[in-house]
Amino acid sequence: MNEPLHIFDRPNSYIGRSVPRPDARRLLEGRGKFVDDLQLPRMLHAAFLRSAHSHARIDGFDLDAARAMPGVVAIYTGKDFADHVTPYVGTLTHLAGLRSAPQMPMAMDVARWQGEPIAMVVAQSRAEAEDAVAMIDADLHPLDAACDTESALDADTPVIHEAFGSNLAWERLVEAGDVDAVFSRNDVTVIKRTFRFGRHTGVTLEPRASVVEYDPSENRLTYWYSGQAPHMMQAILAKHLDLPEENVRVVAHDVGGSFGIKIHTYGDDIATAVAAKLLKRPVKFVADRHESFVSDIHARDHVVTGRIAVTADGTIEALDFDDLTGIGPYSMYPRTSAIECNQVLNLTGAPYKLRNYRARGRVVFQNKNLMCQYRAVGHPIAMAVADGLVDEAAAAIGVDPAEIRRRNLVPDDTYPCVSASGMKFDDLSHEKTLDRLISEMRYDDLRADQATCREKGVYRGIGLVSMVEVANPSPMFYGIGGAPISAQDGATVRLDAGGALHVSSSITEQGQGTNTILAQIAAEVFGVDMDRVKVTTGDTDNVPYGGGTWASRGAGIGGEAMLLASKALKDQVLDVAGILLQSESESLDIRSGSVVDADSGAERISLRDLARTVYYRGNELPSDVKPELIATRHYRVTDFPFVFTNSAMAAHVEVDVESGFVRVLHFWAVEDCGRVINPQLVDEQIRGGVVQGIGGALYEECVYSEDGQLLNATMADYLVPMAGEMPDISVFHVETPTKTSVLGAKGAGEAGTGGAPAAVMNAVNDALRPLGASIFQMPMSPERILKALGKV
């Protein structure tokens, strides 16, 4: 039956006119024209031409051959977008002095890294778009490149942005006490080392992807993307594409891994949105794996020279280091590329009693892919530098590595306290976690086994690390600096007429179990079975406003909001139940989907019957009782800039001194993430983090040539840890709930990644110590280990 369908098409005279349904489907994009056999606007596909040079002037394009290719709908260069998207700059006001040049979705005059998009083809299929890209003749004039972090500030190094006069993006100095006076004393042993960390990236199971649709009749953009922060992207797209924020919908459902990689603004994603708006057709872009390697943000490009001063009894008297960080040619928008260095300055040595502390950080531009936040931002560097120096100091003065930590860790009974770098700490348990670690791993037995193995020419090592992890960030992290990044999260809980709960949250699901945690909290607090809880996340049209998922904030902030909303709805329901049952609401409870007597557990009324009374027979309630059976609450951390998790970890390794290969025999993690809501999910988050940390320690590195060419941009060449290389990972918990929330949950998503590299490095050096060798460069590849042994 072809019943009429009203088309409300504002740009023409069809407003209010009844059109037969088949013809309505053939109405072409609001222009009042009918096209035979047209169903709906067909989705188009985007592909990008990327710069083959790390630094090149763009002198022009010959697009004729590409335009003639089958299926091509449009071709755009960077300059074509100049009037349709405003530039964006990756700076934050609270990072004083940070500078970066304006960015556009595609390079306009100069390409500044190999892989930067410079032209875009939109075609009927991805294959046709790629074929046309291959036919674009780009006239690129190579320029001298600045690719090396350590020489980026040299006088003879090319300056990437001439207006800045140098390649320095940002610098900061943190000082406490009198460091120089300590290092000049005669009663201290001074250890100095240089640590080098190889760039690597998060190899997500699902690459970055976006589908964008623009409805000109509503001036409305819908952006489906594989990302972590829908409301952030909503604000960014609205601002830079000149759209009202309420006219931008962002949807991110069931993201296939993110690790911080998918929380940034990428030029190809923005270009896809611009093309959809210009063409008034849905446009899809999915990065292939090669594009992911050359365009997904990298991380960990640091060279750190540090020194530590200890007394004969192992007391740490001073810590001093200089961190040089390479970030690519721009600071990433909107979170900036200085945060990683800033974290290193703030967190290095955080578990220890330090009175004399100096940390200098310099962030420099390079002609390489952009570097920015990736899982455990800055933590692997901070923990490796501090605990690497602690282990070296212990060896120099003949103190056991576990014992030197016991003598210097901040005691568990001294919180709250402030670190030398100014971080506020509370509710931590460094002593308890270390004691539990030493017990669970049978530390003394491993030391005895190590001695026995050395007599047989087998070199095993034990590495420890004590660490902190940033979690549950407050507005002091980003919002204070002007970024459109919410530090709060919201939750809405609604009781339907069937007695089920429908909950929505502004945090998002990337495979870490967010939806399960939310359902678990709502079910437990409200009083229904988990299978009666339906969860919605990742849709700006259908969830409360919030920050999304990053910085281990899902359970701690999003979970707290869900707890508060569930409690508020429960109070509503019990108030209604008290009226219906002529009982005091305080004498009632909700259990297994029914209102029951709190003392006896006797069922009084089912939630289904209560809800139907409210929704269908409201006349049975007093006129002044108007229950909504829905509650929304938001939560943010207010007492501290961050809530911190702490951990103690250990690695047991065996080094083949003939081949240089390292085998991780076992790994232990004792985590204090506050209240553990779902032990299985928490344990697997920690294990997954440890695997990524081992990857950075032993395998993963984005290898560049001297002129800025990424040499291993395939899964055949970029090594990621596989199941066969991974050890058993034993996880244990100490629970010290944070006092900043009712739930008491901290974060657990990043500690494994932050601590594992330090533990593995210390274990490798422990194994090599009898041979007079050491290594402080990651990844610790077989070649580098053999070089440390003097064998290559």
The rounded distance, in Å, linking the Cα atoms of 228 and 247 is 20
Residues 6+ apart with CB under 8 A from 792: 783, 786
- Give tens-digit pLDDT for 110-124: 999 999 999 999 999
Q: Which residue(s) pair with 535 in the sheet?
A: 503
Same domain, 444 and 505: no
- Can you give the pLDDT at residue 691? 96
Same domain, 242 and 304: no
Place of tokens 């985007």: 46
How many structural domains compose the chain?
3
**Start-to-end Cα distance in the chain:** 81
**Is-contact 284 210, C-beta < 8 A?**
yes
- Give tens-digit pLDDT for 131-189: 999 999 999 999 999 999 999 999 999 999 999 999 999 999 999 999 999 999 999 99
**Is-contact 357 347, C-beta < 8 A?**
no
The rounded distance, in Å, linking the Cα atoms of 308 and 158 is 35
Judged against a pLDDT cut of 80, whether residue 284 lies above it is answered with: yes
**Is-contact 401 180, C-beta < 8 A?**
no
| Mean pLDDT calculated for residue range 6-35 | 39
The rounded distance, in Å, linking the Cα atoms of 444 and 272 is 58
| Mean pLDDT calculated for residue range 34-63 | 84
Same domain, 91 and 212: yes
- Can you give the pLDDT at residue 637? 87
| Cα atoms found within 13 Å of the Cα of residue 234, Cβ hemisphere only | 26
| Cα atoms found within 13 Å of the Cα of residue 423, Cβ hemisphere only | 28
The rounded distance, in Å, linking the Cα atoms of 90 and 328 is 12
In a domain? residue 18: no
- Give tens-digit pLDDT for 355-385: 999 999 999 999 999 999 999 999 999 999 9
**Is-contact 520 677, C-beta < 8 A?**
yes
Of the pLDDT bands very low, low, confident and very high (cuts 50, 70, 90), residue 780 is very high
Judged against a pLDDT cut of 70, whether residue 20 lies above it is answered with: no
Tokens of 332: 């990433």
Same domain, 685 and 753: yes
- Can you give the pLDDT at residue 40? 57
Which range, of 264-273, 350-359, 747-756, averages the lowest pLDDT?
A: 747-756
- Can you give the pLDDT at residue 38? 45
- Can you give the pLDDT at residue 17? 43
Of the pLDDT bands very low, low, confident and very high (cuts 50, 70, 90), residue 59 is very high
Of the pLDDT bands very low, low, confident and very high (cuts 50, 70, 90), residue 4 is very low
Same domain, 213 and 95: yes
The rounded distance, in Å, linking the Cα atoms of 551 and 14 is 50
Amino acid (one-letter) located at 618: G
Same domain, 599 and 694: no
3-state class of 501 per DSSP? strand
- Give tens-digit pLDDT for 711-722: 999 999 999 999
- C-alpha separations of 238 from 250, 273, 484 in Å: 11, 11, 11
Tokens of 327: 């970030």
Judged against a pLDDT cut of 90, whether residue 549 lies above it is answered with: no
In a domain? residue 282: yes
**Is-contact 131 66, C-beta < 8 A?**
no
In a domain? residue 700: yes
Same domain, 426 and 329: yes
Same domain, 587 and 706: no
**Is-contact 771 789, C-beta < 8 A?**
yes
In a domain? residue 532: yes
Residue finishing a domain among 584, 600, 635:
635
In a domain? residue 662: yes
Of the pLDDT bands very low, low, confident and very high (cuts 50, 70, 90), residue 39 is low
Same domain, 304 and 450: yes
Same domain, 647 and 712: yes
CATH of the domain at 360: 3.30.365.10
| Mean pLDDT calculated for residue range 558-582 | 96
Under DSSP, the state recorded for 557 is I
CATH of the domain at 285: 3.90.1170.50
Judged against a pLDDT cut of 80, whether residue 9 lies above it is answered with: no
Phi-psi region at 136: left, alpha or beta (left = phi > 0; alpha = psi -120 to 50): beta
Residue finishing a domain among 591, 613, 635:
635
In a domain? residue 192: no
In a domain? residue 171: no
The rounded distance, in Å, linking the Cα atoms of 787 and 781 is 10
- Give tens-digit pLDDT for 199-242: 999 999 999 999 999 999 999 999 999 999 999 999 999 999 99
Same domain, 375 and 424: yes
- Give tens-digit pLDDT for 613-663: 999 998 888 888 888 999 999 999 887 788 999 999 999 999 999 999 999
The rounded distance, in Å, linking the Cα atoms of 504 and 522 is 10
Helix (H), strand (E) at residue 309: strand 302-310
Q: Could you list the residue range(s) of the whole structural domain that residue 672 is in?
A: 298-399+406-475+639-788
Judged against a pLDDT cut of 50, whether residue 786 lies above it is answered with: yes
Mean pLDDT taken over the chain? 93
Same domain, 595 and 461: no
In a domain? residue 198: no
